[in-house]
Structure 1
Amino acid sequence: MSDDRIVVGSLAGAFGIRGEVRLKSFCAEPADIAGYVPLATPDGRIFRSLEIVGQTQGSLIARVEGISSKEQADALRGTPLLVERSRLPALPDDEFYHADLIGLPVQDAGGNPLGTVRAVLNHGAGDILEVVRPGGATFLIPFTLAAVPLVDIAGRRIVADPPEGSL
C-alpha cells in the first residue's frame, strides 16, 4: 500500500438484502468517514458517494455507490477504504495515525532492539502495540506514556519500557 494513503475504514459485509453495507469506521467520530468521499480500495475501485443510514453494534450501516445487492456487499467484506493522507487533519504531537506506527522499530531505553510494530490493537481498554521480535514471536505493549515514552516518527523509532513479564 502506498504511504500517501491511509485506511479510514473497511467494508464489513451486507446488512439486509438491498445492498446496504456494514461499515467499520476507524475515524475518531465514526460518522466522519462520510466526509472523506471519494474513498478508494487497494485495487483502485473508487466509491464517490456514501450515505450513513443507521448504526448497529460495532459498525455503521451505509449505502455506498456501486453496491446494490447483498451479494455485492458480501463480496467486498474486509475491503479497506483509503483516502489520501493530505486530506486528513493534522494531529496533535501526542497522537499518531496507526499507519505511521506500523513497521517502526521498537527499542528499549538503552537502544537495544525489541522488535517491530506489527499492528495497533484496541479491544476497548486502550491501544496496544503488537510487536514482533526478530525470531517471529510477538508481545504486546500498552500504548501509554509509561510503557512507550517516545514515539519518533521522523527518526523512525519507538522507545518502549514494556511491563514486567511482557517480553
Structure 2
Amino acid sequence: MSALVCVARIGAAHGVRGAVKLWTFTEDPFAVRRYGPLLAKDGKRQFELATAREAKDHLVATFKGVTTRDEAERLNGIELYVARDKLPVTDEDEYYHTDLIGLAAVTTDGDALGRVLAIHNFGAGDIIEIAPPKGATMLLPFSNAVVPEVDLKGGRVVIALPQEIEGEDRGETLSPSRPRERGDP
C-alpha cells in the first residue's frame, strides 16, 4: 500500500443522529466522498461516508454505522487518511506533504542541511521544517524565494537560507527589567 495522506479530521458531534463536523484538507471539500473508505492513521479502522453537506467552514457528515450522538462524540479528533495513489496527480509546482517529507534539504551551493521533517501551516502560509543531523530543527517559509527548487525525482529540496529577517532596526537595546510598551518610540 502507498503512503497514507490525511484528507480530513472529524470534529464535534452535530445533532442527535450521529452527524459530525468534518474538516477537510482537500481543494474540493466533497472530494473525500470519492476516495472510498477513509482510514484512521493506524490503517485498522475504516470509515465510510453516508452523507455530507456543506456548512459554514466545514462539512456536516454521517458515517455508516454511526447513528447516535454518543457514537459520534467518540469519533471527535480522529484524522482520516487515504492511500496516496488514490489522490489526483498534482500539477507542476504542487506537492502533497507526504511527497516532501524525508527529502534531503540542501543549500543553493549544494551543502547538506538535513531532511524535510514536516510541512506546517499555522494560518499564515506553509512552513517547511528541516531536521539537521545535529541541533534544533529549522522552520522556514515554504515559498519560492526560500525553496526555489523541489526535485522529487532527485529526492531533494534546495533551500536559499535567508540572510536576515526584515524588521525595524532602531539601534535600541531593550532591558529585561523594562519591557517595551505599546507606543514607546
TM-score normalized with structure 1 length: 0.83
Q: Does 1:20 align with 2:12?
A: no
> 1:98 Cα shift?
0.8
How many Å separate the matches in 1 of 2:135 and 2:52? 40
Deviation at residue 165 of structure 1 after TM alignment: 4.1
CA drift of 1:68 comes to 2.3
CA distance 1:105–1:20, shift in 2 (3 Å) = same
Structure 1 ranges of 4+ moved more than 4 A: none
Matching of residues 20-99 of structure 1 within 5 Å: 20-41=19-40, 42-57=42-57, 59-99=58-98
Listed one character per residue, the Cα deviations across residues 7-30 of structure 1 (whole Å, up to 9, x for unaligned) are: 211222323343211212110122
Alignment TM-score, normalising by the size of structure 2 = 0.76
d(CA) in 1 for partners of 2:160, 2:136: 18
Equivalent residue letter for 1:29:
D
**Is contact 2:2-2:85 (8 Å) kept?**
no
- In structure 2, distance between residues paired with 1:66 and 1:81: 16
Contact 1:13 1:75 in 2 (8 A): no
C-alpha separation between the residues in 2 aligned to 1:138 and 1:86?
30
Question: Deviation at 1:136?
Answer: 4.8
Q: What is the Cα deviation at residue 5 of structure 1?
A: 3.0
Q: Does the 8 Å CA contact 1:21/1:73 hold for their aligned counterparts?
A: yes
- The Cα shift of 1:78 comes to 2.8
Letter in 1 for 2:85: S
Aligned residues: CA RMSD: 2.2
* Range 82-91 or range 132-141, more displaced: 132-141
Determine the structure 1 residue equivalent to 2:110: 111
SS at match of 2:31: helix
What 5-or-longer segments of structure 2 have no aligned partner? 166-185
AA aligned to 1:37 is G
Tell me by how many angstroms 1:145 deviates: 1.3
Contact 2:6 2:82 survives alignment (8 Å): yes
**Which amino acid counterpart does residue 121 of structure 1 have in structure 2?**
H
